Structures are given as structure tokens and as C-alpha cells.
Amino acid sequence: MSNGIEPTQTTVEPSVDAPKTPAMGEEVVIRLDNVNKWFGHFHVLKDINLDVRRGERVVVCGPSGSGKSTVIRCINRLEEHQQGDIIVNGVTLTNDVKAIEAIRKDVGMVFQSFNLFPHLTVLENLILGPIWVNKTPRKEAVDTAMYYLERVKIPEQASKYPGQLSGGQQQRVAIARSLCMKPSIMLFDEPTSALDPEMIKEVLDVMVELAQEGMTMICVTHEMGFARSVADTVVFMADGQIVEKNSPKELFANPQEERTRQFLSQIIQH
Amino acid sequence: MADHSSARGAPAAKGSAPPRKTSFLNDQRVRGVLYQILTIGAVVAVGWYLVHNTLTNLAARDIATGFGFLDREAGFDISESVIEYSPADTYGRVLLAGLLNTLKVSIIGIVLATLIGTIIGIARLSNNWLVAKLSSVYVEAMRNVPLLLQLFFWYAIIGVALPHPREALEPVEGWFLSNRGFRFPYPVWETGWTLAVIGLVLAAVITWWLNKRAARIQGETGRRPNVLIPGIALFIGLPVILWALGGAPTAIDVPEMAGFNFRGGASVSPEFAALLLGLTLYTAAFIAEIVRGGILSVHYGQTEAAVALGLKRGLVMRLVLLPQALRVIIPPLTSQYLNLTKNSSLAIAIGYPDLVATANTSINQTGQAVEGVAIIMATYLTVSLSISAFMNWYNSYIALRGGRS
Ligand SMILES: Nc1ncnc2c1ncn2[C@@H]1O[C@H](COP(=O)(O)OP(=O)(O)O)[C@@H](O)[C@H]1O
Ligand SMILES: [Mg+2]
């Protein structure tokens, strides 16, 4: 306890002090069972075991290059793992194209670099998936899109092109684009790392709200304020392994591993 | 330029420096205008010198100038023509026939080269090792052998590898492949056939309308009605019905041997086939590289984002990658279209009567080299500018829909 670290001086605190209202369920929606992955000869993921329950909010942190992105990209098969099992919503990820498409439909993903489609307007970005993947009637898709644009507080930008928006607005559109697919799970890969400090908060606010509604989320992020206020579980990764996993309170106050301690002191100092 | 008279904030002890006198020749705008005047002057002077010299020389050699020869009888035959032509026709008409032959091979070549090039370009990016490798080999082979050589190659293949008309290959009854080209049965033209062609056009129009309707219904209900099957039915059904209504003509002109060659039916000449093959396959290799480069120019995150939404690979290509790649593809694609059109003048090497070939013969016979070359240049310029204009319009049409990125 003596050298416990209180992560209070993080750069950005979400404005909403999130009461962790909806309790997570018992049902495991994502299971990684002894997952191993190599890039050529490089062993990037080593025996990853992780269960995520419905409604659970998991924050993954760790030094750069530790395999955080690779883990979550394996969950929707943007990367292929070579050993072990990944089971999402009861479906085991194999090379079965249908299973992969079904999982991708139900798992939203937000990238560090937004990856909006620059040739489509904001609205068109939002309705592309619903129309072509879910076969939603256009009018319904537009209604849903406008609903989520309201939710991320930029309905007035609907007819603009992504290049005309600020980074924070683009990332909020990207979140809305994922939500329009009505996913049950959301993956975030450092959603605020490419943003100027003054825009980080507007994106975190949206994520906090989502968390409060009980969305199952896995977020790779170094926003420790966010982790502390909304996460149920914080996973610390280093060198392709899960070093430590605990509730944010425990992990921050009482890290069990030396590596965790080092890492936390580094990111919390500045 | 800077205002020198107000030295802001400077102590006025010695008085501000007097405004520097700058010669008006140092003014950027004056210089711009001056350079343009000089350029125009130089061009006019050189042009005048050339024209004057040419006219003097022609007069000295007693060669009449002017385009009067266009109305005179050409007196030479050409091996094939889209329009009726006989040696009794004028030079004007033989040049027109040549131009139409140029346009025929260029237009068909552009369409085929675009199709083949796009397929090969996408195939080169395939995850399938064999498909990607084969496409690379194709591109490298085609790009690195001079076109003229390829034309000779195809011409030789047709001339040497294919048998004489007497032993012509007949893969399907009535369809002959020989070193005299490709001959196939052709209907004796009657109203029924005209109606059948109208049926085809109608089918195209209705299918286009069905496609629009499908998009609308997809908008309303989310389900896109199948257009492929009704489309195919229309394309087969409508011509057949109209053909039957037009009296169901059945007379077919089947080619048959008469002496040393075929008579009847329709034909594709070895020259046209070799030129079309050469131009198409050669240009397709360049187009493949342009398409591949265009697709690669789209950031990989675009594919990932689209795939993460659950879009199938084909839709990712069609909805996300190609629209973005097109903006990169179109300008160099335009150059390839222009190249193909201009390269079609290599026709002269294998005896296909294109514009250059017919103009060349006309020049030889009349001595009107300046006029002949002027006609060739003006024609290619017109065709090239038309292609450029169309592609520029298409490019801005796409850009308008795309906004900036
Ligand atoms: N496509 C790839 N090919 C080869 N190595 C990769 C690839 N993607 C990531 N890596 C390597 O895998 C390691 C883990 O990457 P990543 O999961 O992106 O780490 P993190 O997100 O934790 O920073 C890094 O060393 C990275 O260089
Ligand atoms: Mg990463």
C-alpha cells in the first residue's frame, strides 16, 4: 500500500463522474483462450487469456509495441491468430467467412486514425454499413444515423465531408458510424491518441456515456482518468503478455508486478 | 510590395530612408506580361519563317499548294473500310475511311484495354499468390517489349501459325479461322434483324431503368431486387420477340470456300486483329499498373474500417476503394487512352489502312506532304483533345461528388 499510486493527475478527466450503474452480466461474450500469434518469427502475443462479460468495460494499457492493438484486432479478425481460441458471442473465430462477417457486424471498432471514408459525407459514412451489410431501408438508416449524430453532438455536420471536420469531430463521427451498426461490443484502439489535448475530452465524454449505458467495451487507452472512472477491469500488457489484470482501483493502488508499477509511474508523472 | 515610406517604430533620428527607386522592369506583373509577349513574338516569328520558307520551296519545285487534291480521284484501293469505298472515290473519302478505321480500332481498343487492365491491376493485388504472380508476369512482359515488335508478333502468329483458308480451322460450323483472318456467318439483313437490334437497345434502356428502380427499392426497403436475371431475360427475350415479329428472317450468309479464299459472311482481317490485339494487350499492362497504383494509394486504414463494418471484400472494393482510387487513376488513364489512339498509327507497319496509312499513300501520289501531314496532325489533335475533354469532365464529375479528403 505504501507505494501505491493514486492516478489523479492525468491529463484529462471526463466531465461526467461516472457512477458504474449497470452491473455487468455473468455471460462471457468474448473469450480469449491461450491465444498465441506470430508476425513471421516475432512472437507478438503469448498465451493471452481473457474473459469479457456482457456489459464489462475493459481498459487495456501497456507500453507501445506490447501487442495491445494486435489483441483487439484479433477479436474482429483484422489479424489472424495462430494458436488458441477466440470465441465471440459463442462463435469461434475460424476461417469461416460467414462467421467472421457475423462477428464483424456485431463488433464495432474505432481506430486511432479515425479512418472515415473521405469520399463520402458524414451521413453517407454512417449509413453505408447499415444499408449494405444490415440491409436497412435507407430512410431508417438515415434516421438512425441522425440519432447517433445527435448523441455525439454534431448533427449539423451531417452533410459535410470528413476532411472539413476537426480531429475530435471526426473521431466522434467514427464512433457514431460504428454505433449505427447497433453492435453489442465496441473496440477502441487508442481513440484519443491522435487528437489535440482540447479535443480529447469531447471524445472521452462520448465514450463515458456509452460505458454508462452498459455497452461491452474494450478500450486500448492511456487515459487513466477514463480507466478509473468507468472501467470494470484494467489489463496491463507488456511484451505480448498480460502482466496484470484487476479492477482499476486495485491495479492503480496496489500493482502486484514491478513492470506495472514502472509503467504506471511513467504515465502518471507527467 | 512593402511600403517603404513608413518605417514603423524606427527612431526618426536620421530621417527615414528615401523610398528605393525600383525600375518598373522589376515589377512582377510587368515581367509576367513581358515574358508572354516575348514568347508569342518568338512563336510567330518561327512560324512565319517556316511557312514562308516552305511556300518558297514548294513554288520553286512547282508543287501546287492547297487542299484541292481532296476532291480528286484517289485511284488506290484499301483492304478494308467501314464505309463504302472504291478507288474511284476521292482522296477526301479515302482519308475519311482511314480516320474511321483509326477510330474503330482505337475505340474498341480503349474499351477492351480498360476492362483487361482493371482486371489485371486488381488481380496483381490478389492474396492468391499464383494470380498475383501471373498478373505481374503479364505486366512486365507487355510493358518491356516494344509495341511495334508486338504488332509484328501478332501479325506473324496470325499469318504463320494459322492455316491457309483451304485448311481453315473451323471450331464451330461456318466459323473459320485462317491466315486470311476470321470469318463468320452473318445474317442477310432484313427488317427482322433491324428490329432485333432495336430490341437490344430497348433491353439496355429497360435494364438501366430496372437498375435505378432497384436502387430506389433498396433505399425504401433495404432489399435490392435482383436485376441480373430480368436483365439477361430482357437481353435475350426482347430481340427474339421483335425478330419474330419482323417476320423471323432466317437467311444467313454462311462463308464458304470459293477458289483460294472465302466468300460471304462477315470477316475480321488479320491486320485489324493483330493491331487490336497488340494495342489492347500492350495498353492493358499500363492501365493495370495505373489501377494497382490507384488502389494502393488509398490508405490501408480505409480497407480496415470498411471490413470492420462487416462489408464483404467485393463491396469494399466497389464502395470504398475504387471511388477513391479513381481520382488518382483518371489523369494517367487519360494519357493511356491518348497513347493507344496515337499508337494505332503503327498500323502502317502491318498494312492496316488507318488514317496515317491512307494519308501516307495520298501524299506519295500527290506530293502534298504539308497538307497531308497537317490533316493528320489536326485530326489526331482533335481526337486527342476530345478524349482529354471527356476525361476531364468525368474527373471533375467524380471530384464534385467526392469533396476533398
Ligand atoms: N503487420 C505487422 N507485421 C509485423 N509486425 C507487426 C505488425 N503489426 C504489429 N507488429 C509488431 O507487433 C508488435 C505489437 O504491435 P501492436 O499490437 O501494434 O502494439 P501496441 O498497440 O501495443 O503498441 C510491435 O512490435 C509491432 O512492431
Ligand atoms: Mg497500438
- How far is the centre of ligand 1, averaged over its atoms, from the C-alpha of B16 (Å)? 64
Judge whether A16 lies within some domain: yes
| pLDDT tens profile A186-221 | 999 999 999 999 899 999 999 999 999 999 999 999
The predicted structure's pLDDT at residue B22: 72
Establish if B308 touches chain A: CB-CB under 8 angstroms.
Answer: yes
Q: Rounded to an integer, what distance in angstroms lies between the CA atom of residue B41 and that of residue B47? A: 10
Judge whether B158 lies within some domain: yes
The predicted structure's pLDDT at residue B175: 85
- How far is the centre of ligand 2, averaged over its atoms, from the C-alpha of A190 (Å)? 7
The predicted structure's pLDDT at residue B16: 58
State chain A's mean pLDDT as an integer: 90
Ligand 1 pocket check for A67: Cβ under 6 Å: yes
Total structural domains within chain B: 1
Judge whether B298 lies within some domain: yes
Name which residue leads in pLDDT, B256 or B114: B114
B260 within 8 A of B86, measured Cβ to Cβ: no
Tell me which ligand sits closest to the C-alpha of residue A43. Answer: 1
pTM > 0.95: yes or no: no
Three-class secondary structure assignment of chain B? CCCCCCCCCCCCCCCCCCCCCCCHHHCHHHHHHHHHHHHHHHHHHHHHHHHHHHHHHHHHCCCCCCCHHHHCECCCCCCCCCCCCCCCCEHHHHHHHHHHHHHHHHHHHHHHHHHHHHHHHHHCCCCCHHHHHHHHHHHHHHHCCCHHHHHHHHHHHHHHHCCCHHHCEEEECCEEEECCEEEECEECCCHHHHHHHHHHHHHHHHHHHHHHHHHHHHHHHCCCCCCHHHHHHHHHHHHHHHHHHCCCCCCEECCEEECCEEECCEEECHHHHHHHHHHHHHHHHHHHHHHHHHHHCCCHHHHHHHHHCCCCHHHHHHHHHHHHHHHHHHHHHHHHHHHHHHHHHHHHHHCCCCHHHHHHHHHHHHCCHHHHHHHHHHHHHHHHHHHHHHHHHHHHHHHHHHCCC
The predicted structure's pLDDT at residue B172: 83
Q: Is the pLDDT of residue A20 over 70?
A: no
Question: In this predicted structure, which of A57-71, A243-257, B261-275 has the lowest mean pLDDT?
Answer: B261-275
The predicted structure's pLDDT at residue B400: 61
Judge whether A15 lies within some domain: yes
Residue of A nearest to B222 (CA): A137
Q: Rounded to an integer, what distance in angstroms lies between the CA atom of residue A205 and that of residue A119? A: 28
Neighbours of ion ligand 2 (CB under 5 A): A 69
Establish if A69 touches chain B: CB-CB under 8 angstroms.
Answer: no
Taking residues B7-34, what's their average pLDDT?
Answer: 68
| pLDDT tens profile A146-163 | 999 999 999 999 999 999
The predicted structure's pLDDT at residue B55: 83
Q: Is the pLDDT of residue A19 over 60?
A: no
- For A137, the closest of B222, B319, B404 (CB atoms) is B222
Q: Whose CA is closest to B380, among B404, B349, B345?
A: B345
Establish if B220 touches chain A: CB-CB under 8 angstroms.
Answer: yes
Domain range for residue A160?
7-24+56-69+102-268
Judge whether A39 lies within some domain: no
Looking at the CA of residue A68, tell me the nearest atom of ligand 1. Answer: 22
Residue A6 confidence class, pLDDT cut points 50, 70, 90: very low
Establish if B144 touches chain A: CB-CB under 8 angstroms.
Answer: no
Residue B169 confidence class, pLDDT cut points 50, 70, 90: confident
Judge whether A238 lies within some domain: yes
Instruction: Indicate which residue's Cα is closest to atom 1 of ligand 1.
Output: A39
User: Which residues on neighbouring strands pair with residue A233, listed in sequence order?
Assistant: A58
| pLDDT tens profile A34-45 | 999 999 999 999
| pLDDT tens profile B66-89 | 888 888 988 899 988 889 999 999
**Which of A36, A59, A60, A66 is the best mutation target for the ligand 1 pocket, counting ligand atoms within 8 Å of the beta carbon and taking the most?**
A66
The predicted structure's pLDDT at residue B336: 94
Q: Is the pLDDT of residue A7 over 80?
A: no
Taking residues B292-319, what's their average pLDDT?
Answer: 93
| pLDDT tens profile A104-124 | 999 999 999 999 999 999 999
Tell me which ligand sits closest to the C-alpha of residue A237. Answer: 1
Ligand 1 pocket check for A41: Cβ under 6 Å: no
CATH number at A133 reads: 3.40.50.300
Name which residue leads in pLDDT, B187 or B140: B140
CATH number at B301 reads: 1.10.3720.10
Ligand 1 pocket check for A66: Cβ under 6 Å: yes
Total structural domains within chain A: 1
Domain range for residue B382?
96-163+270-398
Residue of A nearest to B398 (CA): A119
Residue A115 and residue B319: Cβ atoms within 8 Å?
A: no
- How far is the centre of ligand 2, averaged over its atoms, from the C-alpha of A109 (Å)? 13
Judge whether B216 lies within some domain: no
Judge whether A176 lies within some domain: yes
Q: How many CA atoms lie within 13 A of A252 on its CB side?
A: 25
Residue A115 and residue B312: Cβ atoms within 8 Å?
A: no
The predicted structure's pLDDT at residue B6: 46
Give chain A positions within 8 Å (CB) of B306. 117, 128
Judge whether B329 lies within some domain: yes
Residue A116 and residue B221: Cβ atoms within 8 Å?
A: no
Q: Is the pLDDT of residue A270 over 60?
A: no
Judge whether A95 lies within some domain: no
Taking residues B125-154, what's their average pLDDT?
Answer: 94
Judge whether A225 lies within some domain: yes
Judge whether A210 lies within some domain: yes
**Which of A36, A44, A218 is the best mutation target for the ligand 1 pocket, counting ligand atoms within 8 Å of the beta carbon and taking the most?**
A44
Establish if B315 touches chain A: CB-CB under 8 angstroms.
Answer: yes
Q: Is the pLDDT of residue A15 over 80?
A: no
State chain B's mean pLDDT as an integer: 87
Q: Is the pLDDT of residue B315 over 80?
A: yes
